[in-house]
A and B are shown apart, each in its own frame.
Chain A
Amino acid sequence: MLTRRIIPCLDVDRGRVVKGVSFLNLRDAGDPAVLAAFYDREGADELVLLDITASAEARDIMVEVVRRVADQVFIPFTVGGGLRAPEDVRRMLEAGADKISLNTSAIEDPQLVERSARRFGNQCIVVAIDAKAVTSGVRPASAEGTVALDQASRWEVYSHGGRRPTGMDAVKWARRATELGAGEVLLTSMNADGHQEGYDLALTRAVAQAVSVPVIASGGAGTLEHLRQALVEGEADAALAASIFHYGTYSIAQAKTYLARHGVPVRPTAGVSV
């Protein structure tokens, strides 16, 4: 049976992991390759490396990081952040990334998704969506008709690391992105992110039901029950988390043990008991 995936996410700034991982007895827990290898050994099903470096000049550092991660890790990993052109995509894939994720660049240039998917295959193109609940009324439609917010919209897409509202409906954009060729959707709830009070289950379920490709839920994990909720009530195919793993609140094995005991299919790895 296809199992649900548990995916730790590493934020990388100028080649170093942001948000310390001090509890781990690692040689250099700020080194993305060391940390990625650690999570591989721990039984993570996949990894996401998000380049949050502000300057484009520092992009070469990330290529080198990806190369070093690929040397040590024998599970799939996705690289995102700042990829703007098919050439950026090609460099990351050649450096050893299995998938790349497009966020702002996909919003600004949807053809980038289409061209990249055609050239490299749908399976390696992830569209990342930062979504925020629509609070009061609907702003004038600024987006293309098919993805614009309407009266029924519940979540708006934000670009530029969550700083800019786009006028796009998150569910419609997810559907459109997969029509363009995205093979997976990485969905982050901006409302839930950072609060550790659980994923936005309504958002996750709405997107999971709207698209025919896998959906990774992101933002809000604070407990193992939150992971279960995202995968069951939220109908996500994978759950991404950062803090609960990085700060040692839970190990990957504990997460998988909990999920397995609650009937969620997971890949049993070292230390998982059912």
Chain B
Amino acid sequence: MGKELVIVDYQAGNLRSVVRALEAVGAHPSITSDPDEVRQARAVVLPGQGACDSAMVALEASQLTSAVKQVIQSGRPFLGVCLGLQLLLDFTEEGNVPCLGIFPGRVRRLPPGLKVPHMGWNQVHVVKDHPVLRDIPQDSYFYFVHSYYADPEDSSLVAGTTSYGVSFCAAVAHDRLVATQFHPEKSGPAGLQIYRNFVAYAKED
């Protein structure tokens, strides 16, 4: 029998804060870099910090690429955070490499003339209802730190938008997948609500 809730560890940044946030809302996540454990999990969290191209390399080196794709395609509850959103698209301009290709679209550099990284607390305007995004006041503040943003071709995937020079996709929601550009584990009570929602959602069936 598979583990309930796993966090995918592919050596791309620190997972501790994601673990702590999930524990703070009563979950008992397991960290794994074993593709089989990812495949068998009931719900999966894909975090990620740093550069999207090296994250993609790390994901492939850990032989986790196909496991992550299978989990998403099987429609199990999935939460992507930061690079865990960007990696879902076809291609990233950061290093110009292909990504997982779950959704058509590119990861683009934030426009010039702004301080980059986009670092700090910014508002997310929720444009799509999803159980993982409930009980969060409209235009709440979340913590961002990124230099690139996901630009999915299918605008119906976009669940939340944020403005920083451009209005960009701060969250996608599709079926049982939600992914955010911001870091809910660093976004105080509003962020913890997202993890709380995800944990509750992952238990439903």
Contacts and interface: CB of A to CB of B under 8 A. Distances in A.
B130 interface: no
B21 interface: yes
Contact of B122 (A1, A120, A268): A1
Interface string A230-274: 000000011000000000000000000000000000011100000
A95 B16 contact: yes
A2 B116 contact: no
A184 interface: yes
B14 A93 contact: yes
Contacts of A184: 117, 119
Interface in B1-47: 13-14, 16-17, 20-21, 24
B147 interface: yes
Interface of B is mostly: mixed
Most buried by A among B13, B14, B189, B191: B14
A5 interface: yes
A53 interface: no
A38 B189 CA distance: 14
A237 B120 contact: yes
Interface in A179-211: 183-184
A75 B163 contact: no
A5 B143 CA distance: 11
A71 interface: yes
Nearest to A92: B14
B186 A122 contact: no
B147 A238 contact: no
Interface residues of A, number: 33
Interface in B158-173: 163-164
| Interface of chain A, main secondary structure | loop
Given A74-B24, A74-B191, A123-B146, A214 B120 contact: yes
A238 B146 CA distance: 17
B196 to A, nearest CB: 12
B57 interface: no
A109 interface: no
Interface string B112-149: 00011111111100000000000000000101111100
Contacts of B163: 1
B187 interface: yes
Nearest to B139: A1
A213 B119 CA distance: 9
A93 B141 CA distance: 24
A40 B188 CA distance: 8
B143 A214 contact: no
A212 B116 contact: yes
B119 A267 contact: no
A222 B188 CA distance: 27
Contacts of B121: 2-3, 5, 45, 267
Most buried by B among A2, A76, A183, A212: A2
B49 interface: yes
A70 B186 contact: no
A94 B14 CA distance: 6
Contacts of B115: 212-214, 237
16 contacts: A2-B164, A3-B120, A3-B122, A45-B121, A70-B20, A74-B20, A74-B21, A74-B187, A74-B191, A120-B13, A122-B147, A124-B49, A213-B116, A213-B119, A214-B119, A238-B120
List 8 tightest A-B contacts by C-beta distance, closest first: A121-B50, A267-B121, A96-B16, A267-B141, A123-B145, A2-B122, A76-B186, A3-B121
